[in-house]
Structure 1
Amino acid sequence: MIIKNKMVKRLISTFLMSLLLASMMLVIGAGKVYAQGSVSSTSLQVSADGSDYYIIGSDFYNHFVRPTTVDLAKNKVVYNKQILTVYNGRIDKWKMSFLNQDSSGKSWFKFLSYPEATKGDIKITYTTDGINYSDSKPSLEQLKGYMVELLKPIVYPDDANNQENDIEVSFQLSPDTDYILSNSNLNKQFIPFSGEYWLQNYSPYPFFTDRNQLQFVYPDYSKGVMVKYVDEEGNEIHDPQTISGSKGDVYDASTDQYKLVLDGYTLDTSKLPQNSIGNFKEALQTVTYVYSKNPVVAADVTVRYVDIENNPISEDIILQGNIGENYYTDKKNIKDYTLKEVQGNSSGQFSEKAQTVTYIYKKNELPIATGKVVVKYIDTDGKSILKDVVRTGTVGEDYITEEKKISGYTFQGIRGNSKGKYTDKIQTITYVYTKNHIIKPKDELVNSGTKIINKTNPKVKNSSSEKSQKLPETGENKKRSILFFISGLTLITLGSTIIVFRHKKE
């Protein structure tokens, strides 16, 4: 009976102790697991200096304060220890994963060291994508997490109350300050890591819960001062420098560390920044140094003007300047040519290499020119005696005119060239003719067609007949006409006088 009571008391004592331990674990945030034949807990503990560790979700210096607060100005390194504690019973299978990324896949820390088994008989594998694990260590920059697997069973009596860690994996992380600030993740509580663990043959459990939250703080945070280097057109000519500090502190960008001497440029002292010395503010400040480019003589730019067969049709133009300066070229208006294309950059910048800009022209096609020749036929008084003949042809071709036989006229002469080449001007060729005049004697009026033959010598023509058949010259005809007219007028006047005289006498 006494033995039975002792056993009951022992069971009650064990139960109360287990209940107390469970309560304690709930207070500090550990995950206590009751598996078949064992009681254990697993957690991630963090420390600011590597001495005092508290479960993540508690402050570095007081585990009653939540959440874990990482000061980006002070906590450059966070010490981590992932543990498994078996209080009693037996564990044959245990596996745990740790991923340095939150549930959305963002990594807020960087690995400073590889995870190391500081206690326990375990195997560690590594992952770069959070899915596939390998025995090979990647670079710390590529490392995303790891997996721990138990190699040897952990066994305690069923009534044991072990408080020592059976497995410890230690590693160091550093807050990725630039990433945190660029994503505006200050003073926000969240779970920074993810992972799972497997116990015996059970399904995996989430390793982190809402009790394991963390926040980043940055008292007196300043985005700093950016020192920029630009030319006179505002183009950056050197990588900017950044000055970091806390809000309110003094910065000095006027020293030689920031006022740089740059090859090929001269600092414009008339444009020195007014804020080269000042106080850090929360917002990013910019200090800008302006430089003028030192002139360097560039190679020439040759501007050519050629036809489609590359023959020059106008003088070349040579442009000169300094490297980096702009140059401009233009087409020329060239008589009888039309611009076809441009080879090379018609505008650009001078450089150390010679450049050629070629304007290519096509010769204008000339229309087929037609020449005209007008042939006139006139008498000696300038009167037209035959319709003009107009001849046309291509300029340069030959033309030929001819004398025409005109009844009652005798060709006298020609004005102009009877043959030649057509030109772009009208040419006039004039054929001049003399009118034929025939005067017959009185003795030939009866039988003008009878020829008088010398009876003495029939072979000898009668001189009077020969004279009568000889046509008078043109001038002679006019004289004779005037003489006949005067003689006729005299006879009429004389006759009229006689008639009047006789009439008065009667």
Structure 2
Amino acid sequence: MEEYKKIIPGYTINEAKLPTHTQGVFSTSEQDITYFYTKNKAGAGNVTAKYVDTDGTPISGDVVKAGVIGEDYTTEQKDIPGYTFKEVQGYVTGKFTDQPQTVTYVYEQYKDKSTVLVHDSELTVGDTWKPEDNFDSSTDYYGNTVPFSNINVAGQVDTTKSGTYKVTYRRFVPNFFSASENQGTYSAIATITVKDAQPLKGGDITTKYVDTDGNALLEDVVQTGNIGENYTTERKEFDGYTFKEVQGNATGQFTNQAQTVTYVYTKNEIPNLIGTVIVRYVDTDDNSISEDVVKSGTVGESYITDKKVIEGYSFKEVRGNISGQYNEQPQTVSYVYVKDEVGSESGTNNNVKDEVGSESKTHSKTSNKRTALLSEHALPKTGENERMALVNSTIGAVLLATGLLVYVFRFKRVNK
């Protein structure tokens, strides 16, 4: 029989009470072997509470707590003068363990919130004034309100006459004093302006913007104000012009007389640029049916294009601007024509059969003369297109009828 001595966590075997027969031989009767253990005493754990600022610098002494492992612990947040609590790092409460634990309380240092706030004001001669009128508020280091009774005021305002007065509002704090105006940390200065009850209106200030020939480049700017008040004028920039000079006082004061300030500019020289317009005469397939006409001129000048009468074609439409101005980029105007069908007015005289003979040639010449005559007038006036169409139709009908009569007459003679 083997020895049955065991190791039990948290307990220590009692060596003084070990059994005498830890080993032996199994038998038919029961045998008892007893080992005695003593419970171990609980170990001690500790928790350290630290108090630091945002930079990790200690601002109060550590608090160390110790206790039996497994027992509860708790830590406390402190009130530390000059600091405000921000956050805690670690477990505020928990249980002691066999490992040291740290709980860190982090604090922010108070920022100086001292202020003295005042405002400027304007008064009219005869008005009343007291120091509280320009005082807004004041706070101490921690941001607490400071009453006006704790503010020292230096300076007076004489409302019986016009003038500018400065009044200083101070809150004294040892080693902290600032004399900045309008908004300081521990002092501030208010500016009180007393004006005449009825200011006198001054003459207008008229600002002109002209070229060297006196032509206005911009509408006049008129300013109004009271005598003694300051005025200022503004120089402007204009495309295509260069500032040359200012005539009069660009800045000054209103007086009892009207004043004029004139800004003079020189026009920049621009070299003449030539633009072109290409006039094309094409059919509906964009094939040229007459020689192009190229027009040129100075950029900015006007141009106009002409429509042609082209034998065998009828005008359909124009693509582009018939008239306009030359610019730096080439422009194209296309007059589009539709080819006349066989038997139409334009093509009838040329398609008359040979049997007509000399009459056919005569008609053809007549038609050609008419076409040439029409080509001299490119753009008919309003209504002329309709009249020309009527004339053409009439002439065509007469020629056709004449040709048919001649043909019939000859046909009859041949058949006799």
- TM-score with structure 1 length normalisation? 0.28
Instruction: Give the structure, 1 or 2, with the largest relative contact order (CA under 8 Å, sep 6 or more).
Output: 1
Which structure: larger Rg?
1
- TM-score with structure 2 length normalisation? 0.33
